[in-house]
Amino acid sequence: MAQLVCGLARRWCFGALGSPLQALHLQALPLHLGRTVMRASQKDFESALRQVKLWKKDPGNEVKLKLYALYKQATEGPCNLPKPGMMDLVNKAKWDAWSALGSLPKETARENYVDLVSSLSAASEPPSPAKPAADGEQAGGDLVVTSENHITTITFNRPAKKNAITTQMYRDIMLALQAASKDDSVLTVLTGNGDYYCSGNDLTNFTDIPPGGPEEKARTNAVLLREFVDYFIDFPKPLVAVVNGPAVGISVTILGLFDLVYASDRATFHTPFSPLGLSPEGCSSYTFPKMMGPSKAAEMLIFGRKLTAQEACAQGLVTEVFPDSTLQKEVWTRLRAYTKLPPNAVRTSREVMRSKGRERLHAVNAEECEALRQRWLSEECASAVLRFMSRKAKL
Ligand SMILES: CCCCC/C=C/C(=O)SCCNC(=O)CCNC(=O)[C@H](O)C(C)(C)COP(=O)(O)OP(=O)(O)OC[C@H]1O[C@@H](n2cnc3c(N)ncnc32)[C@H](O)[C@@H]1OP(=O)(O)O
């Protein structure tokens, strides 16, 4: 589901801009205070509509909702649709945005639309040429996989979205792990491109409701999540995370299934499940209490306490913390040295350390996914996703 956010937004927002426009007239309109100003014309409005369609960069959900609402107000007047159900997240967000304009006159909405487009167009930079992929790299995409010096590296590559994981990325990570389990690499590394390691599950994963409704969506998400986590439980080679920046949600919980976690001193570790109406996943309900004790695990997993890299290291979640400026050099030098160790001995040692707990982890994974399937159908979760989409809430 590469770039779902943009695709989805185009469907529910930009798509609406293609509908026929009502005739609006160019004129100097009187303001309440008696003075007159030139208002945006129908031509300005149409030109703004064309400009929006040419935008290469996704302006973000908040802006798209504003544009949608102003467009509807300018062309149809005050919101005339029945309020969508709580679980119909996308239409509910659109309805809220349009209704919030109340009885704003069509002309003012049109003018605000033109102003918003022109301010955003002025602020946007010309697109930069695409960077060619390095040797051995699977070019472009939201996930980059490289294999070099017996190390397979899987890089989250959506820096503009803080490396949030889309449905397609979950699938691609599983494919990459499958390939890495069979290639000649000794280690498999997960890391992030940009200032974040990963902001967790892409919250818009919840918004494309299939014909079977929210129940089907919750079911397919639970199946996907269970399969994804199973891949980490069963992975046969050492797994290393190079946590280059803040980590959120599932990108934190699965660290309990890794062998080494090296972190920048800029990294933070945050599992805000309760504020999102969710519950823990990635086997963290089992691995975290085992690793840090039940009370520290509860602070993170139930109450959403964010840990610094040093704190996470003290709790055993992180192996070692490096200054951000030397992280890459120090970690990769060390990892290259580890690849020189006899590979069969490395695999055997890991297997004897891991095999005893594997069955238990699968059972924990199944239980967590079932709890989440139910959470995804809750009003608490729907409200949290809506708040995020309308940008009233951040972590
Ligand atoms: C199917 C399997 C399910 C697995 C279950 C997994 C559960 C989890 O992982 S729960 C955790 C989910 N993640 C979050 O709740 C994080 C949400 N994001 C934020 O709170 C913030 O974005 C931030 C704190 C991570 C960063 O804040 P800030 O530095 O102010 O940057 P922006 O908010 O402006 O973000 C830039 C850009 O990125 C988009 N984005 C960031 N995180 C996500 C995300 N998780 N899902 C979707 N989109 C995300 C954000 O919307 C911005 O986009 P634009 O507005 O289009 O610029």
Out of 157, 174, 199, 266, give the residue to mutate to test ligand 1, the one with the largest number of ligand atoms within 8 Å of its CB: 199
Model pLDDT, residue 39: 64
The residue with tokens 């690849």 is 339
Dihedral pair phi/psi, residue 384, rounded to 5°: -65, -40
Number of neighbours of residue 69 by Cβ within 10 angstroms: 25
Which of the pair, 139 or 193, is modelled with greater confidence? Answer: 193
131 band by pLDDT with thresholds 50, 70 and 90: very low
Pick the residue whose CA is nearest to atom 4 on ligand 1. Answer: 201
Q: Which of 95-109, 210-224, 286-300 has the highest mean pLDDT?
A: 286-300
Atom nearest to 281 CA in ligand 1: 5
Q: Is the CB of 204 under 6 A from ligand 1?
A: yes
Sign, CA torsion 51/56/59/64: positive
pLDDT at 135 over 50: no
Q: Is the CB of 368 under 6 A from ligand 1?
A: no
Q: Is the CB of 221 under 6 A from ligand 1?
A: yes
Q: Is the CB of 226 under 6 A from ligand 1?
A: no
Model pLDDT, residue 392: 55
Query: pLDDT, tens digit, for every residue of 99-120?
Result: 989 999 999 889 888 888 887 7
Own/partner contacts of 297-305, CB < 8 Å, gap of 24 or more, are 300/269, 300/271, 301/271, 301/273, 302/273, 302/274, 303/274, 304/270, 304/271, 304/272, 304/273, 304/274, 304/275
Question: What residues are paired with 188 via a beta bridge?
Answer: 152, 239
Out of 161, 165, 283, give the residue to mutate to test ligand 1, the one with the largest number of ligand atoms within 8 Å of its CB: 161
Query: pLDDT, tens digit, for every residue of 298-343?
Result: 999 999 999 999 999 999 999 999 999 999 999 999 999 999 999 8
Write down the mean pLDDT value for the chain.
84
Pick the residue whose CA is nearest to atom 57 on ligand 1. Answer: 60
- Predicted TM-score (pTM) of this structure: 0.73
Both tokens of residue 384?
A: 């949290």
Atom nearest to 200 CA in ligand 1: 9
Percent of the chain with pLDDT over 90: 62
Which of 97, 115, 85, 88 is closest to 61 using CA atoms? 97
Query: pLDDT, tens digit, for every residue of 223-239?
Result: 999 999 999 999 999 99
Pick the residue whose CA is nearest to atom 37 on ligand 1. Answer: 161
CA of 20 to the centre of ligand 1 (A): 34
Query: pLDDT, tens digit, for every residue of 21-51?
Result: 222 222 222 222 222 334 678 888 888 887 7
Q: Is the CB of 315 under 6 A from ligand 1?
A: no
CA of 202 to the centre of ligand 1 (A): 6
Contact between residue 64 and residue 14 where contact means Cβ atoms under 8 Å apart: yes
Q: Is the CB of 218 under 6 A from ligand 1?
A: no
CA of 201 to the centre of ligand 1 (A): 8
Q: Is the CB of 395 under 6 A from ligand 1?
A: yes
Of the listed ranges 12-21, 144-153, 369-378, the one predicted with least confidence = 12-21
Q: Is the CB of 192 under 6 A from ligand 1?
A: no
Pick the residue whose CA is nearest to atom 1 on ligand 1. Answer: 221
Pick the residue whose CA is nearest to atom 2 on ligand 1. Answer: 225
Query: Alpha-carbon distance 210 to 224, whole Å?
Result: 15
Query: Alpha-carbon distance 204 to 386, whole Å?
Result: 9
Q: Is the CB of 200 under 6 A from ligand 1?
A: yes
Q: Is the CB of 384 under 6 A from ligand 1?
A: no
| Neighbour order of strands in the sheet with 187-192 | 143-148, 151-156, 187-192, 239-243, 260-264, 320-322
CA of 10 to the centre of ligand 1 (A): 19
Q: Is the CB of 261 under 6 A from ligand 1?
A: no
